[in-house]
Amino acid sequence: MDAITHGLVGGLIARLGPTEKLGGSATAVGVAAAVLPDIDYALFVAGPGAYYCHHRETTHSLLGGIAMATIVAVLANAATGRKAFAAFWGVAVAGFLSHLVLDVLTPFGTLAFFPFSDRRLAGDVLGLLDPWLSLIVFAATAIGFSPRHRARAALFGLALVVGYVGGLVGVRQLAVARTREEAKGIQGVRRIEVLPVPMLPFAWHGIVDAKGSYYVFEVRGGDTRLVRIVSKAVETRWVEKVRQDPVAAPFFKAARFPVIQDAVDEGGHHITVHDLGLELAAGRPLFLLKADITPAPVGSPANEEQVGIQVILREAAEQAK
């Protein structure tokens, strides 16, 4: 979920109940605590690969998030001189938890229990960007600029958010049922997942993981249709070599629906890996791992093969494909 929507949700929470008497200070605390987990965007400094593999890790975990919320509350208490640490801490923790819940509902997944568990929780209900959810939050925030309507607008806006998400959960269950029905004619089904279509609330991609291929169904309204069949993996010794590389290994681990290709030319093997579940559109991966393996000179041992690995983002990924 985008940082602006996160911040506004935190601000709405701060306008509820007894914290209203803290005024703008509580709102600032709610916004700060709800936005702060995305400080890990700084991982981009180390490259897209570091971001892809470690985003929503420490700063999005319960342990890390509550620690950051505590720091925000301490700073707010000191800066305002109100001696209201408990109230500030409650707002900050609620702001962080709103961030955690919204991110857990997306396909990217969140390591909520890191470092005790490296499992990514992904509810597959909200897209990484959801225009309708953002619109609800923006409207409630705007109405709340009037002190007279602030608390009621916040309560109404948050109730709409809960109702909207609940509606998506119900519609998604229908999409799951339709995808399972379509999967009955597919051999070797291993799992079935349903993900939101980017920027299109109430539209879904049903992904059927079968032997050798992913079958992608689009479920929208009363219509369900097969839109793609994607070969999911080419397993060669060169792919395995890349998989064992310390740079590439976290990428393979993070990809929920890995699509692996191995193209060969006179320059060697050119391997690409991306997550089918994180495509901006068909064939347009958000993140792409690209590995070039240059063969060892004739007569040299195989371990002298040169491996060059990079992770690229968005438009560059599209061009590389």
As a three-state string, the secondary structure of the chain is CCHHHHHHHHHHHHCCHHHHHHCHHHHHHHHHHHHHHHHHHHHHHHCHHHHHHHCCCHHHCHHHHHHHHHHHHHHHHHHHCCCCHHHHHHHHHHHHHHHHHHHHCCCCCECCCCCCCCCCECCCCCCCCCHHHHHHHHHHHHHCCCCCCHHHHHHHHHHHHHHHHHHHHHHHHHHHHHHHHHHCCCCCEEEEEEEEECCEEEEEEEEEEECCEEEEEEEECCEEEEEEEEECCCCCHHHHHHHCCCCCHHHHHHCCCEEEEEEEECCEEEEEEEEHHHEEECCEECEEEEEEEECCCCCCCHHHCEEEEEEEECHHHHHHC
* pLDDT value of position 316: 44
Query: Could you tell me the two tokens for 42?
Result: 């700084």
8 and 116: one domain? Answer: yes
CB 291 within 8 A of CB 285: no
Both 114 and 226 in a single domain?
no
Are residues 295 and 208 part of one domain?
Answer: no
- Separation of alpha carbons 99 and 30, rounded Å: 11
Instruction: Examine residue 97 and state whether it is found in any structural domain, yes or no.
Output: yes
Claim to verify: residue 300 and residue 200 sit in the same structural domain = no
Predicted local confidence at residue 303, as pLDDT: 54
Q: Is residue 153 part of a domain?
A: no
How far is the C-alpha of 52 from the C-alpha of 239, rounded, in Å? 20
Same domain, 217 and 262: no
| Domain identity same for 203 and 252 | no
Q: Are 258 and 235 in contact (CB under 8 A)?
A: no
Residue the block writes with tokens 């509550």? 66
Q: According to the model, what pLDDT value does residue 20 have?
A: 60
pLDDT score, position 180? 97
Please check whether residues 52 and 114 belong to one and the same domain.
yes
* Residue 149 falls inside a structural domain: no
309 shares a domain with 215: no
Asked whether residue 194 falls in the same domain as residue 249, the answer is no
The domain boundary residue, chosen from 84, 106, 123 = 123
- How far is 38 from 6, CA to CA, in rounded Å? 9
What pLDDT sits at residue 247?
83
Residue finishing a domain among 123, 147, 164:
123
> How high is the pLDDT of residue 315?
46
The last residue of one of the domains, among 87, 107, 123, is: 123
pLDDT score, position 319: 47
Whole-angstrom distance, CA of residue 238 vs CA of residue 270: 9
207 with 246, same domain: the answer is no
Structural domain includes residue 283: yes
Q: How many domains does the chain contain in total?
A: 3
**CB-based contact 272:320 (threshold 8 Å):** yes
- Residue 290: inside a domain: yes
216 and 104 both lie in a single domain: no
Same domain assignment for residues 217 and 268: no
Give residue 309's domain range: 237-320
Residues of the chain with pLDDT under 50: 315-321
